[in-house]
Amino acid sequence: MQGYLVRVAVDQTYGAWNAPVNPGNNEFVFVPIPEEQTMRTEMATPYRTLRRALARFKAANPSVPADIFSLPQHLSSKNMHLDPDFEHLTYGDSGTRRGRGLTRLRPGDVVAFYSGLKPIAPRPRPLLYALIGLYRVAEAVRVDSVPASRWSENAHTRCEQSERSDVIIRGKAGCSGRLKRCIPIGEYRDRAYRVRPDVLDAWGGLSCRDGYLQRSAVLPTFLDPRRFLAWFEGQAPELTNDNNP
């Protein structure tokens, strides 16, 4: 069994913003990174479609300054690289570089997604690192094998010019999806955000040094994926096939 930990969603490197999270109940808004490629017109995923989700989050937290829930101007007119797409249970990545290992995933393997989110309440550090979703793998396919009838299911096939070697992971329905409430896993230590030691121990370890969570060129792997899954199920996760329920 194999398992990968994949960082996703807008952040200071990709989009210069962080999506909001309520650390009191761990509810959050999923905001993908900006799309850099030209999209097929009928398949575009504009940021403006997130306004309703952000407005609902704001209404649920009326005492918080409104700017935390407002998309910055430099994003509001762009398209999202909606990936993972929890509605379609897909995730795409490079099949020759960062995501090369994903091409070897088989049914029953696992991909866990995490993000750096901005708490709406004061905390010692400006970001909260948390799991936001999980796929139990149904299959891994190359972009060039995806028929036109399924192009709308993932950001890598919504683009006019996609890399034929890119890989798309499809999650198994019924046991994959977006978390309704994120699961915090991180802390700041040794000059970086890292997985907490107690969580690392419960998972059985990661391939990256000391649980490093900031973006890297190599995707971290779980040293003991079954142990990670047992821990995950112990958190009583609620999964949904919706990008922002």
109-123 average pLDDT score: 95
SS3 181: strand
Strand partners, 7: 114
Rounded CA-CA distance 105/192 in Å is 29
Instruction: Give percent above pLDDT 90 in the chain.
Output: 88
120-132 average pLDDT score: 92
Rounded CA-CA distance 183/203 in Å is 14
| Cβ 90 vs Cβ 152: under 8 Å | no
Predicted TM-score of the model (pTM):
0.97
165-190 average pLDDT score: 97
Mean pLDDT of the chain: 95
The pLDDT of residue 218 is 87
pLDDT greater than 80 at residue 216: no
In this prediction, residue 205 has a pLDDT band, given cuts at 50, 70 and 90, of very high
In this prediction, residue 99 has a pLDDT band, given cuts at 50, 70 and 90, of confident
Radius of gyration of the chain (CA): 17
